C-alpha cells in the first residue's frame, strides 16, 4: 500500500518577502514585487523591469566564505530549505539521514556565474578562472549544497523542466515517498538568473512585458491589456514526509499531497498546444491519481503568466476539465504580484496553495482591470477572498511543452 505524503514545513525567498510570513502577507494584501531593475544596468534593454529579491543576505544562512563560492540560485535554495526544515521542526542526524532526500528544480542554474567567468576567460585568460566554476554553475549544485549543509543522504538531484521544474521536484519527491524510497524529501525550486542576457533573451522571444512606465501593473494575468510575463527570482521549498514518519515524530501537518500529473504537449518549444490540451491532460492525470472528481476542487492556483497565449489556453484547458464547475471554482495567479520565477514558480505556487488551505484565504490576481472576454472565469480580481479550501490544484506549464500539476488537500486522519 502506498504511503500517504504530507507537508510539514515551508520556506520561501520571494520578491515580496524573505520568509513565509512576509511573503504571505504581501500576497494577501495584493502587493506587487515588480519594479525597475537594480541588479544591473538595464538601459540597453527593451524591458527594464523585473521582480527582484531585495535585501537578501546569504551570510544569514551560510558561512560567509562558502556563500562567496556559490551562485545566487544556490543561496536562495539553501535559505528556503533551512527555513522549511526549521518550520517542520525536523532534526537530521545519524538515525534518519539516509531516509531524507533533496530534490530542487531550477531552469537556468548558475548561468550568471558562467557569464561572469566567461568574461574573465576572455579578458584575463584561463589561468584566472575560479576553481569553483565547474561545480558551482551546474543546476544540481542547489540540492547538492542543501544536502551537504543538512547532512541529508537520501535521493538527491535536480529537476530541469523549464517553468515546471519546481512542481516536478515536488511531484517526483511525492512519488519517492509514496513508494517507500525515502521517508522525507526536501523539495522545491530556485532561480536567481536575472541578468542582461536573460532579459534580452526573453525580449528576443517577445515573451516578457515592456510596461516600463508602470512596473507594478506590468504583470496582469487574464487581463485584456497583458503584454507578457515579468521575470522574477527567488525560491520555495516544502518538507514532504510519509504520514507515518511525520506522525511518529509529532510534526506539524500543513496539508497532504494527493495528486501529481505530468504530460508533454509535443507541440512547440514556446507555444502551448492548441486549447491547452497538454495541460488539461496533466490536470486529469492528477485528479485520477488523487481519486477526486473535478467538482471536489475548491481552488486553482493558475500558471497564469500574463502572456496572451498562455492565459487563453489555460482558461480553455480548465473549462475542458471542469466543465460547468470551472465557473464556480476561484482561480488566481500569484505571478501577478511576484512575476514569473521560472524554475521556482511551481514550487512557490505549491507553497501558496498549502497556505491557502491552512489560512482559508485566496490570494488575488492583481491588475485585472480589463477582463479578456476569452478569459471569463473567476480569477479573484484584485482583492483577497476568505474561503475554506479543502482541495487546491496548482498548474505549471513550461517552455518545451512541459506540464506539471499538483493537488493538495486539507489533512484529515483516517
Domain boundaries, the chain: 7-248, 262-400
Summary mean pLDDT of the chain: 96
Q: Cα 68 to the chain's mean position, in Å?
A: 25
Query: Whole-angstrom Cα distance, residue 164 to residue 189?
Result: 9
**Given this chain, do its domains 7-248 and 262-400 carry the same CATH topology?**
yes
pLDDT of res. 136: 87
Given the residues 70, 75, 158, 340, select the one marked as catalytic.
Answer: 340
Our answer to whether residue 268 is catalytic in this structure is: no
Residues 323-341 have a mean pLDDT of: 98
∠ CA 133-238-377, rounded to 5°: 110
The yes-or-no verdict on residue 414 having pLDDT over 80 is no
Report if pTM > 0.85: yes
The yes-or-no verdict on residue 1 having pLDDT over 90 is no
pLDDT of res. 91: 98
Q: How confident is the model at residue 4 (pLDDT cuts 50, 70, 90)?
A: very high
Q: Which fold is adopted by the domain 262-400? A: Peroxisomal Thiolase; Chain A, domain 1 (3.40.47)
pLDDT of res. 135: 87
C-alpha cell at 224: 485584456
pLDDT of res. 271: 87
Per-residue 3-state assignment (H helix, E strand, C coil) for 147-168: HHHHCCCCCEECCCECECHHHH
Our answer to whether residue 340 is catalytic in this structure is: yes
The CATH number of the domain covering residues in 7-248: 3.40.47.10
Given the residues 158, 303, 375, 402, select the one marked as catalytic.
Answer: 303
Query: Whole-angstrom Cα distance, residue 317 to residue 281?
Result: 9
Our answer to whether residue 36 is catalytic in this structure is: no
Given the residues 70, 158, 163, 375, select the one marked as catalytic.
Answer: 163
Amino acid at each position: 500500500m502506498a504511503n500517504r505524503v504530507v507537508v510539514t514545513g515551508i520556506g520561501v525567498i520571494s520578491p515580496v518577502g524573505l520568509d513565509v510570513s512576509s511573503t504571505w502577507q504581501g500576497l494577501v494584501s495584493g502587493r506587487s514585487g515588480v519594479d525597475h531593475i537594480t541588479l544591473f544596468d538595464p538601459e540597453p534593454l527593451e524591458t527594464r523591469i523585473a521582480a527582484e529579491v531585495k535585501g537578501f543576505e546569504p551570510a544569514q544562512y551560510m558561512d560567509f566564505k562558502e556563500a562567496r563560492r556559490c551562485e545566487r540560485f544556490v543561496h536562495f535554495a539553501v535559505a528556503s530549505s533551512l527555513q522549511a526544515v526549521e518550520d517542520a521542526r525536523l532534526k537530521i542526524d545519524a538515525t534518519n539521514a539516509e531516509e531524507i532526500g533533496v530534490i530542487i528544480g531550477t531552469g537556468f542554474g548558475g548561468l550568471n556565474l558562467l557569464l561572469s567567468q566567461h568574461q574573465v576567460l576572455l579578458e584575463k585568460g584561463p589561468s584566472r578562472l575560479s576553481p569553483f566554476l565547474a561545480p558551482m554553475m551546474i543546476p544540481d549544485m542547489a540540492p547538492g549544497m542543501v544536502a551537504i549543509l543538512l547532512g541529508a543522504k537520501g535521493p538527491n538531484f535536480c529537476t530541469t523542466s523549464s517553468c515546471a521544474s519546481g512542481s516536478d521536484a515536488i511531484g517526483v519527491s511525492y512519488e519517492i515517498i509514496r513508494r517507500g524510497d525515502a521517508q522525507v524529501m526536501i523539495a522545491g525550486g530556485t532561480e536567481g538568473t536575472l541578468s542582461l542576457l536573460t532579459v534580452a533573451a526573453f525580449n528576443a522571444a517577445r515573451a516578457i512585458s515592456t510596461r516600463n512606465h508602470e512596473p507594478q501593473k506590468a504583470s496582469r494575468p487574464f487581463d485584456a491589456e497583458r503584454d507578457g510575463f515579468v521575470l522574477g527570482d527567488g525560491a520555495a521549498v516544502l518538507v514532504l514526509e510519509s504520514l507515518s514518519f511525520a506522525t511518529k515524530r509529532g510534526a506539524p501537518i500543513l496539508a497532504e499531497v494527493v495528486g501529481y500529473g505530468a504530460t508533454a504537449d509535443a507541440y512547440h518549444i514556446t507555444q502551448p498546444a492548441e486549447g491547452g490540451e497538454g495541460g488539461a491532460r496533466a490536470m486529469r492525470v492528477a485528479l485520477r491519481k488523487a481519486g477526486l472528481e473535478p467538482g471536489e476542487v475548491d481552488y486553482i492556483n493558475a500558471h497564469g503568466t500574463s502572456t496572451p497565449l498562455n492565459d487563453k489556453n489555460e482558461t480553455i484547458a480548465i473549462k475542458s476539465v471542469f466543465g460547468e464547475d470551472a465557473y464556480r471554482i476561484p482561480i488566481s495567479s500569484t505571478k501577478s504580484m511576484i512575476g514569473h520565477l521560472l524554475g521556482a514558480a511551481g514550487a512557490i505556487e505549491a507553497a501558496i496553495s498549502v497556505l491557502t488551505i491552512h489560512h482559508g484565504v485566496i490570494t488575488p490576481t492583481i491588475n485585472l482591470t480589463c477582463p479578456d472576454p476569452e478569459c471569463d472565469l473567476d480569477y479573484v480580481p484584485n482583492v483577497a477572498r476568505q474561503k475554506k479550501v479543502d482541495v487546491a490544484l496548482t498548474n505549471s506549464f513550461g517552455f518545451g511543452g512541459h506540464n506539471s500539476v499538483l493537488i493538495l488537500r486539507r489533512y484529515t486522519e483516517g
